[in-house]
Amino acid sequence: MTDFLTALALVLVIEGVFLAAFPHRLRQILQMLEEMTPERLRLGGLCAAALGVFCVWLLRG
């Protein structure tokens, strides 16, 4: 459970740094996401999740 909470905290840190460093770019990205179809968003989310699982598998082996 500690690893899970640590991972969530790191997500918040990364998102916070991204928001602080590139606020205008984030707005552009959000507008692009709004224009995408749900199918493309779903596929992108599945690819990101699969990549994340693969990275955890490599690191935790």
Letter string b/e over residues 4-18, b meaning 16 or more CB atoms within 10 A of that residue's CB: eeeeeeeeeeeeeee
pLDDT digits (tens, 9 = 90+) for 7-29: 999 999 999 999 999 999 989 99
Q: Which residue has the tokens 């690893």?
A: 3
pLDDT, position 61: 83
**pTM for this one?**
0.71
Structure tokens at 16: 């916070």
